[in-house]
Chains A and B, each alone.
Chain A
Amino acid sequence: MAAEVPPPPEIATSHGLTAEEYANVLEILGREPNLTELGIFSVMWSEHCSYKSSRKWLRRLPTEAPWVICGPGENAGVIDIGDGLAAVFKMESHNHPSFIEPYQGAATGVGGILRDVFTMGARPVANLNALRFGSPNHPKTRHLVSGVVAGIGGYGNCVGVPTVGGSCDFDESYDGNILVNAMTVGIAAKDRIFYAKATGVGNPVVYVGSKTGRDGIHGATMASAEFDQEADAKRPTVQVGDPFTEKLLIEACLELMAEDAIIGIQDMGAAGLTSSSFEMASKGGVGVELDLDRVPVREEAMTAYEIMLSESQERMLMVLKPGKEDIARRIFEKWELDFAIIGRLTDSGRMVLRHNGKTVADLPIDPLADAAPVYHRPRAPAQPRPVVEPGDVAPPEDVMESLKALLGTADLCSKRWIWEQYDHMVMADTVAQPGGDAAIVRIHGSHRGLALTTDCTPRYCGADAATGAAQAVAEAWRNLTAVGARPLAITDNLNFGNPERPEIMGQFADAVEGMGEACLALDFPVVSGNVSFYNETNGKGILPTPVIGGVGLIDDLARTATLALSAVGQSLVLVGATAGHLGCSAYLKEIEGRGDGAPPPVDLACERRNGDFVRAEIVAGRITICHDLSDGGLLVAVAEMALAGGIGATLSVPDGAPAAHAWLFGEDQARYLMATDDAEGLVERAGAALVPVAVIGTTGGESLTVTGSGTISLAQLSESHEGWLPAYMGDA
């Protein structure tokens, strides 16, 4: 097929269009495009905007549940949280810009995802993030951590939305391609959700927010290509954020949304004015005429091409009801933001752009927005890895020293150095701060709350993308459950390498299948998401990293659980079965220096049964201390609970357990650890629910003891756990 297509002109190739795509452009237009039109095709059909490699797989994800108000396809997902309210949320990547310019890349990532949420009528109430950096030994890592964290804080702190949670891991596969995934959660009145749909021929198209500059032109195209040694030369395509303007934009938009004035609204994110206008028009089945001379610009002599492709931040496009222009103008002037009527809707089905009195583009809307290419890329099958048995791994010389070492690794150490740079308390509704299984944010003015988390274990996904992705969904579900929340829905951020390579496409397809199964089994639908491909440098891809952002509901904030031990003499009860699965574990990686083996299997029925039992105990008010078991297994979980509460514990390996080190450090799934005064009652109720439980120890003292394996003081563990990151960042 490709052989029959004539080679496209150099200008099309440099815009990232393939020969087939360019041939399609010619067919749609019936003529050659001019430069502005070519630029528009290029960004609209970029991987970033069109999802051309992923769309066919994403359709398979479960997206429905009785509480889902709006699934994928809008600016963000919307779910019903009762009392006439809806939670609006989404996660999005800003990986490529953050590698090139970490502060601004991360900051504008936060700005963009905030806009996706408030454009739907929701007040943002929480930000989260998922960060993946290269090896701590890589010379660039420290600089990237410092810049990304400062950028996320600099933006979120200023707009006054608390950053309540996140995750941060390190692996050499991210050396040349870090991941910065930002998530925003907002709350709206359920009957006042705004959509990106333009309707009503003749209605005014309005531009609000910041002025348009030359920054970020072709950001979407950059995000759709691999990096090479020339990455730094792409710095001019990174946008600069202004969180102050964003704060004004939030307040002005929410003020206008309280009036009956808006028909459709969309933020100008990737591909700026182009994608916002095309998407709104396409959804509403209308045409648009825009007069680019009316677009507020901050630089002289900007061309139509530049105005349409600019990714200047803090801008929104709206279609207003007729006669509401003055109300809207007054509100934006009060907030000292630009407001301009730049066009109107037509019945032509075409996008007609005028500049300097001339028509500079005339394009059919649907073929661009809807008929973007869909690729069925070849997919290589996964190579299953053998299971590592406990006997395949030598026991450690000193269990407690191994624990101390694990707690002081880059992945498992305390991330306090990071989250203390984020204002996690502004809005005065943060009930559970960062550092726990899930953050809890009170629904303002009520006794109910949202539980929020981001999760992914890339080393599992690298070994087996389907199991790893299912595990990421299950762990998000488990983290919400562990604080007592009812998990409702997820947003995802699928970070992968170059989809044109069959093994990467295989990883992606497997991951989507694994996620889909887990979402279905756990009643945990996907309501929004983002795909980020081409995360590779010089042909080496990152570990597949499908990050899951989970949202759950707490009906009574008086009935929640935290991981901190709070009383001495309580029993520690392990929920879930332990086979001692060490393959792909943190222990194997950090203590043995091995990354082999299959990841722990995910049994979704068991996950659901155990989790439903745990949640029922918390919601009944019988359990207030609970922790999910994940990286590092049981002993790391006990240590985290002890450190959080400043109370020690003594454990005994039960009869019939696998080898001690496998029992202590294995990463079997579907497990929780609880502390209780009534172990007998708990064991009895678990038995009735067919949930395996075991009493494994008691709380008390100032150290952690494993009978037969030794003792270590909490002070020593704390030094290791809290010390690594500040020391690494140079302020120990």
Chain B
Amino acid sequence: MKAAVIVFPGSNCDRDIEVALTQSMGRPPLMVWHRDDSFPSVDLIVVPGGFSYGDYLRAGAMAANSPAMAETKRRADAGVAVLGICNGFQILAESRLLPGVLMRNATLRFICRDVHLRVEESRPPFTGNYRKGQVIRIPIAHHDGNYFADHETLARIEGEGRVAFRYTDQCGKPTARANPNGSSANIAGIVNEAGNVLGMMPHPERLADQALSGTDGRAMFDGLVEAFG
């Protein structure tokens, strides 16, 4: 697999995803500066977490209009896999690669903690290495992770099986208490219609290393490597 990570001014999880990808791929991904509108052909583009452009205006709004994102959009439309984590999910939503918006957390506070997620679909390239219904533990760290979409959109993404992860308790129940940020239907991550673009608020790259007390995130990166060889 060949992978690229887009780096914006204010990205701060770019190194973390670089380390996690390198661990699964056996070689480092390409780091692409936000001003680059052309970069070598890759199997996977990652839009990392952080505070691109300081999250000024609206989280992800300015990054969505960067040259590197214009190119990422073209490639996503052509079927290249795109993974947006945290601020990356916000950028994909602002880019209209994914439906819905990420609003301020219902508590109005930044939240950093491990949460439980239920894997809603076991489907390559992103979640093929998880079982459908599997409950995994992954950290979140965000101020604006409250996923919102109108009823029609929600019904469509639910109907098409496009919810990738849902916040649940440790038994896999999507309770109100297990919803850390007020997201509609406890949604933590969704894919696009074609299934090649995933946006998720939790950080799988932060729990892909035994020394950090868990490896539930690693299956995603290993699965991507298996899917693309």
Contact = CB atoms under 8 A, between A and B. Distances in A.
Contact of A426 (B9, B13, B54, B56): B13
B32 to A, nearest CB: 14
Given A160-B12, A245-B54, 6 more contacts: A158-B51, A243-B54, A423-B141, A426-B141, A427-B16, A430-B212
A589 to B, nearest CB: 30
A243 B112 contact: no
Interface stretch (B88-96, B119-127, B153-161, B203-211): B203-211
Contacts of B205: 428
Interface in B18-55: 19-20, 49-51, 53-55
B141 A557 contact: no
Interface string A425-466: 111111100000000001000010000000000000000000
B132 to A, nearest CB: 28
B16 A244 contact: no
B139 interface: yes
Interface string A403-424: 0000000000000000111111
Contacts of A50: none
A572 B53 CA distance: 52
B228 interface: no
B74 to A, nearest CB: 25
Interface string B182-215: 0000000000000000000001011001011100
B151 interface: no
Contacts of A77: none
B110 A423 contact: yes
A311 to B, nearest CB: 21
B19 A420 contact: no
Contacts of B16: 426-428
B110 A421 contact: yes
Given A160-B12, A242-B54, A426-B12, A421 B211 contact: no
B113 A420 contact: yes
Nearest to A416: B113
Interface string A131-154: 000000000000000000010011
Contacts of A336: 9
A731 interface: yes
Q: How large is the interface on A (under 10, 10 to 19, 20 to 34, 35 or more residues)?
A: 20 to 34
Contacts of B206: 425-426, 428
B111 interface: yes
Nearest to A424: B112
Interface in A207-249: 242-245, 247-248
Given A244-B51, A244-B53, A557-B211, A158 B10 contact: yes
- A-B pairs, top 3 by smallest CB distance, nearest first, are A160-B12, A244-B54, A428-B16
B111 A421 contact: yes
A160 B10 CA distance: 8
Contacts of A245: 54
Contacts of B53: 244
25 contacts: A150-B109, A153-B110, A157-B51, A157-B110, A157-B143, A160-B13, A160-B51, A244-B53, A244-B56, A247-B51, A248-B9, A335-B9, A421-B109, A421-B112, A422-B112, A425-B206, A426-B12, A426-B49, A426-B141, A428-B15, A428-B19, A428-B205, A428-B206, A431-B212, A557-B211
Interface string B131-160: 000000001010100000000000000000
A154 B109 CA distance: 10
A428 B109 contact: no
A431 B211 contact: yes
Given A425-B206, A428-B206, A431-B212, A158 B13 contact: no
A70 interface: no
Contacts of B175: none
Interface of B: 9-10, 12-13, 15-16, 19-20, 49-51, 53-56, 107, 109-113, 139, 141, 143, 203, 205-206, 209, 211-213
Contacts of B56: 244
Given A153-B110, A157-B110, A426-B16, A248 B10 contact: yes
Contact of A427 (B15, B139, B211): B15
A336 B54 CA distance: 13
A613 B113 CA distance: 34
A425 B112 contact: yes
Given A426-B141, A428-B209, A442-B211, A244 B10 contact: yes
A104 B227 CA distance: 47
Interface in A650-695: none
A463 B10 CA distance: 47
Contacts of B111: 420-421
A270 interface: no
Nearest to B141: A423
A731 B12 contact: no
Contacts of A154: 110
Contacts of A588: none
A423 B86 CA distance: 13
Contact of A243 (B13, B20, B51): B51
Contacts of A158: 10, 12, 51, 54-55
A87 interface: no
Contacts of A424: 112
A242 B55 CA distance: 11
Nearest to A247: B10
Nearest to B180: A420
Contacts of B51: 157-158, 160, 243-244, 247
A731 B105 CA distance: 14
A244 B19 contact: no
Nearest to A442: B211
A159 interface: yes
A729 to B, nearest CB: 10
A419 B110 CA distance: 10
Contacts of B211: 431, 442, 447, 557
Of the candidates B19, B141, B205, the one having the most CB atoms from chain A within 10 angstroms of its own CB is B141
Interface in A311-345: 335-336
A430 B109 CA distance: 22
Contacts of A447: 211
A431 B12 CA distance: 18
A134 B25 CA distance: 52
B144 to A, nearest CB: 12
A431 B212 CA distance: 5
